[in-house]
Homo-oligomer: A and B are copies of this chain.
Amino acid sequence: MKKTLFATPQDAEAAFYDAFVRRDLEAMMEVWSDDDDSYCVHPGGARISGLENIRESWRRIFAGGQDLRFSLREARHIHTMMLAVHSVYEHIAVAGQSRAQQPVVATNIYQRSERGWRMLAHHAAAAPASAQPERGTEPATKTLH
């Protein structure tokens, strides 16, 4: 049973990034929906489904031990009664490194459950560092679309 009730998708999102920064695996998994359809795509990675696999992926990331700070920019929210879609740019800074990291564009999907809002999907992908995001940027040439 989840202990925390997130009253809004924003509350769930804040808890997601807070758990990420604190590398708190239990807090991270509190955010996730128990739904079998939950999935997670880390940048450059495969789709990971199932709570146990999602948990293991975060455990490995947190074991890396990097002290990260997130700045979320250009957030767009689409809310309906049962689902919410948040599209954000994650600008990530690593403590002790002055070099800017490649930004990440993330689609975060939240689902309303009997006990508040939970993360149903996190799909993250590295975006061009020089992106002018809202223009018709050329897609990378490595792939076919």
Within the assembled complex, what's the spacing in Å between the Cα atoms of A117 and B54?
A: 30
Contact B133 A46 (CB under 8 A): yes
- Identify A46's interface contact among B47, B76, B83, B105, CB under 8 A: B105
Most buried by B among A102, A137, A144: A144
1/0 per residue, CB under 8 A from B, across A100-115: the answer is 0110110101010000
Q: Is A68 an interface residue (CB 8 A)?
A: yes
Q: State whether A80 and B81 are in contact (beta carbons under 8 Å apart), knowing that A48-B136, A53-B134 are contacts in the complex.
A: yes
Taken together, the copies of this chain in the complex come to 2
**Chain A residues with a Cβ under 8 A of chain B:** 20, 35, 37, 39, 41-50, 52-54, 56-57, 60-61, 66, 68, 74, 76, 78, 80-83, 85, 87, 89, 92, 94, 101-102, 104-105, 107, 109, 111, 120-121, 123-128, 131-140, 142-145
Residue of B nearest to A82 (CB): B80
Contact A87 B39 (CB under 8 A): yes
Closest 8 CB pairs of A and B: A44-B140, A42-B139, A46-B131, A125-B125, A56-B136, A43-B143, A45-B139, A80-B82
Within the assembled complex, what's the spacing in Å between the Cα atoms of A109 and B133?
A: 19
Q: How far is the CB of A94 from chain B (nearest CB, A)?
A: 7
Contact A135 B53 (CB under 8 A): yes
